[in-house]
Amino acid sequence: MTTIDVVIPTVGRSCLGRLLASIERERVHERGRVIVVDDRPGKTALELPAWATRVVGRCAGPAAARNRGWSASDADWIAFLDDDTELTPAWLDQLESDIGDLPATVAASQGRIMVPRPTGRKPTDAERAVIGLETARYASADICYRRSVLELVGGFDERFPRAYREDSDIALRVLDAGFDIVQGRRATLHRLADDPARSALRRQAGNRDDVLMAALHGRGWRERCGAPRGRLRRHLLTSAAAAAVPVAVVAGRRTLAGVLGAVWLAGTAELAWARIAPGPRTRREVTGLLATSLALPPLAVGQYARGLLELPRRLHPRPDAVLLDRDGTLVVDVPHNGDPREVRPMPGAQEAVARLRRAGVPTAVVTNQSGIARGFTTADQVAAVNRRVEQLFGPLGPWFVCPHGDEDGCDCRKPEPGMLLTAARSLGADPARTAMIGDTGADMEAARRAGLRGVLVPTAVTLADEVANASEVASDLPAAVDRLLGAAAT
């Protein structure tokens, strides 16, 4: 029998309650898991119905949250829903019908998004942006992917930290892999939000992601995924004219300054009218659109320029430093090992560390050794084992060893963050740009508390809950290094 789980990323908006109520009404939770990815920073546990599974997100945007959700599922299909949607009657039956007879060449089924119009007036500029979801291609507000395809393409690209482009990116990668995405019959309701006119200014940050989309998918990416062309060229002309006016004045070119000022005013007026004309034209709406139309062109151009500056880093991201656990990550875990002769590298670990070294990424080792406190080994024996590890791997950077037991209450024993923060400081690395690779939940919890990026490499003794709760999981140390270095690896 085909299984379907639902994944809902959320930052805790009140609209989540309406979606969960519609899920309960449609009995979706009785035929599959409902996984809610709690992506709120530094909050208490999100209150959810007993039937919902809460997974902690990384607060790294919707792409990362969706990856976190589907990685916690083992269903055949993963239905992604936005937290500001609601299910319509018979949604689950229609979803099962939508995917029931699909050939293996079809990777996903997209639901129909319905946006109710305001009563008694035309939609505002902000509301028209939401209404655009009705015709958006590949929108993840309601889309159901085969799990096998998500695994094949590596899920959502977490280099897209904002909404709207991460769903287009994964769709294009799926299409490039030879699959199809089809439109289903089911419908999902997406209500209008009471956003002010200035919400258009926030949306300009998407220009940074457009730069990455063009780099990854070529100049024709908009046509392929049905994205509007946008007004960036007009914004560039308007902004350039405005910036050149004072230069012309200082140079004594008053006629030129007048022409440039006219170009700026004409561009601003055209933009403002294009936004005002379709709407309700209330005093509040007109005032807000006039004000934001002055700021919007230079902001859009600035965000695009920022995207160009960020592009090398986004195309080839890599951490400033990598912290490594010892037992189960670098070497085979021999409990409380005090004998250097028992040291055996994990498969592929030596080459993985060599790749970090060739890439110029500094490393350090952070390891719990409670056997010292418990009398199973001595500090000298642990040091001898560590020397043997470095004989096999080459220099690994500074070593940080916690000799304490659980009852000692130290701040260095993982999952406490102390040892990781000390290690990052010793390497001169920003914790936010430092990664921790380990094989236990304690490694990942220490990384989370220290603000590091954690990558779990499970072994036979890693608990299932530790895997489910990890923000990132790699099959082994070489795969973890692949994930961290990406295209920058040598």
Catalytic hit among 84, 142, 327, 443: 327
Token output for 229: 């062309």
CB atoms within 10 A of CB 395: 9
DSSP 200-234: HHHHTTHHHHHHHHHHHH-TTHHHHHT----SHHH
Give the residue among 236, 237, 256, 232 at the shortest CA–CA distance from 245: 256
Please tell me whether residue 89 adopts helix, strand or coil conformation: coil
Element (H, E) at 485: helix 477-485
Q: Is 167 a catalytic residue?
A: no
Which letter, b or e, does each residue of 166-194 get, where b requires 16 or more Cβ atoms within 10 Å of its Cβ? bbbbbbbbbeeeebebeebebbbbbebee
Which letter, b or e, does each residue of 278-306 get, where b requires 16 or more Cβ atoms within 10 Å of its Cβ? ebbeeeebbebbbebbeebbbbbbebbee
User: Is-contact 393 351, C-beta < 8 A?
Assistant: no
Q: Can you say whether residue 375 is alpha, beta or left, with left for phi > 0 and alpha for psi between -120 and 50 degrees?
A: left
Q: How far is CA 442 from CA 212, 337, 438, 448, 471, in A?
A: 35, 19, 9, 10, 13
DSSP 246-275: HHHHHTT-HHHHHHHHHHHHHHHHHHHHHH
Alpha-carbon span 391 to 154, nearest angstrom? 35
Q: Tokens 């946008």 identify what position?
A: 230
Contacts of 227 (CB under 8 A, 6+ apart): 137, 168, 221
Catalytic hit among 325, 439, 443, 476: 325
Phi, psi angles (nearest 5°) of residue 357: -65, -45
User: Is-contact 420 401, C-beta < 8 A?
Assistant: no
Q: Is 98 a catalytic residue?
A: no
CB atoms within 10 A of CB 40: 15
Token output for 454: 């954690």
Catalytic residues: 325, 327
